[in-house]
């Protein structure tokens, strides 16, 4: 029997993660993640993202791609690499001096919830026809991703209501810090080398659009003004329309080709699409 991986084409995850708006959603989730002081300190102290912006963003998208569309073995191998990094690296809380473990379940849960909540909300806001029931189902499915990085899936929010309760609980811990400012600047202008710096002119509107798709309380914490909500929604819908106009076999070639590999394994009928999701 052909291995469909952790999710497969009969899941919400399969089709939602194939939407072109996931590019915006991924950047937006990084803005949100940066508001957790210990989580962002661990990133800033251990990552070379400022020296290798393209590589850092690609590695993040690659893990989502392989865990969604790769075989079970490939998803497991990618997860083991992530868990190994988390086990071997550490950081220090700049506020208290206390050590930070990257495999701290509280930090892993924050990153997971910030990612999946943002993915679903941004893609839905851009026009992906996701029903409330499918939105709940997506969060339930994403417990599999949480388990990959070492979380107990039964302790992970599995519905919109549970995700909302989680954010209500964690928001008092969130704050703007020097480290979050570093990330916000980077995500608006990621290209720092003299050769690549001109690319910031073209990227900046995309970065700020992604920032403006945060929940309304998050830009207030960051202290940087977002676009008006209606403008951000219109921008996300335009971004999605442009992405959908690109032929599937071209669009899914980037950044890592995991969708095309899944199609080669399973057949053309498994291309992600909102129409296919509606027919499930």
Q: What share of the chain is helix, strand, coil (3-state, %, to 5)?
A: 65, 0, 30
Q: What is the pLDDT of residue 60?
A: 75
pLDDT for residue 197: 80
As a whole number of angstroms, the distance between CA 159 and CA 117 comes to 10
pLDDT digits (tens, 9 = 90+) for 37-52: 999 999 999 876 666 6
Residue spans of alpha helices (H) in 149-257? 160-170, 178-188, 199-212, 217-222, 229-245, 248-251
Closest CA to 34 of 203, 188, 178, 189: 178
Mean pLDDT value of segment 82-89: 88
Both tokens of 254, joined, read: 């980037």
pLDDT tens for 140-190 read: 999 999 999 999 999 999 999 999 999 999 999 999 999 999 999 999 998
Determine the average pLDDT of the residues in 190-212.
Answer: 86
By the 8 A CB rule, do 29 and 84 touch? Answer: no
Which 3 state secondary structure label does DSSP give 91? strand
Q: Where are the domains of the chain?
A: 12-278
Give pLDDT tens digits for 87-138.
888 899 998 999 999 899 999 999 999 999 999 999 999 999 999 999 999 9
The more confident residue out of 200 and 91 is 91
């Amino acid at each position: 029997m052909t291995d469909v991986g952790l999710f497969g084409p009969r899941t919400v995850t399969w089709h939602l993660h194939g939407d072109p708006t996931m590019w915006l959603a991924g950047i937006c989730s990084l803005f949100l993640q940066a508001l957790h002081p210990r989580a962002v300190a661990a990133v800033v102290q251990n990552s070379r993202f400022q020296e290798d912006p393209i590589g850092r963003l690609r590695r993040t998208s690659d893990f989502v791609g392989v865990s969604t569309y790769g075989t079970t073995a490939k998803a497991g191998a990618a997860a083991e690499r992530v868990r190994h990094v988390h086990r071997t690296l550490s950081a220090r809380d700049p506020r208290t001096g206390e050590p930070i473990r990257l495999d701290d379940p509280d930090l892993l849960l924050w990153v997971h919830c910030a990612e999946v909540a943002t993915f679903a909300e941004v893609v839905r806001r851009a026009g992906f026809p996701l029903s409330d029931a499918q939105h709940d189902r997506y969060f339930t499915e994403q417990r599999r991703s949480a388990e990959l990085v070492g979380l107990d899936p039964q302790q992970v929010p599995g519905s919109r209501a549970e995700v909302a309760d989680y954010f209500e609980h964690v928001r008092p811990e969130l704050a703007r810090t020097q480290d979050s400012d570093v990330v916000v600047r980077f995500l608006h202008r990621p290209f720092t080398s003299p050769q690549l710096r001109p690319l910031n002119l073209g990227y900046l509107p995309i970065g700020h659009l992604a920032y403006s798709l945060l929940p309304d309380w998050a830009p207030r914490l960051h202290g940087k003004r977002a676009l008006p909500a209606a403008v951000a929604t219109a921008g996300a819908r335009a971004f999605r329309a442009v992405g959908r106009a690109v032929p599937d076999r071209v669009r899914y070639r980037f950044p890592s080709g995991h969708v095309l590999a899944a199609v080669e394994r399973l057949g053309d009928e498994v291309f992600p699409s909102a129409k296919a999701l509606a027919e499930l």
